[in-house]
Amino acid sequence: MTAQPTLFQRIIAREIPSDIVYEDDQYIAIRDIAPKAPIHLLVIPKHVTARVDEITDAAQMGELWLTAVKVAQQHAADYRLLVNCGKGGGQVVFHTHVHILAGWEHRPDSDT
């Protein structure tokens, strides 16, 4: 039995439309469809891991964060990077991704 593709795999394959703001051979970044900030982007590795703590290669982890910073800086001077890890950590889509939150006029209402 083959596992169903994740929502993000379907976006990467262009089976589901999305507002793509960045793409290279390893990553895609899209606008979140339910934003929690004026700017809410998702940086998604094309290589699937369910959770960020499944990435054990330091270079791969570093590249994920460097890509998230690069995308964030293209959209805002100040930003927050956030990863939810596991159901108890608020993760909804089990395909590793980094949230970029930005664009508040003053400051966010909370630290989450």
Tell me whether residue 14 is exposed, middle or buried, using C-beta atoms within 10 angstroms of its C-beta: 0 to 12, 13 to 18, 19 or more.
exposed
Catalytic residue (one of 40, 75, 95, 97): 97
Taking residue 55's Cβ as centre, other Cβ atoms within 10 Å add up to 17
99 noted as active-site residue: no
Length of the chain: 112
Amino acid 59 reads A
List the structure tokens of 112: 């989450």
Choose among 111, 95, 92: nearest CA to 34.
92
Q: Coil, strand or helix: which one is 17? A: coil
Question: Which of the residues are catalytic?
Answer: 97
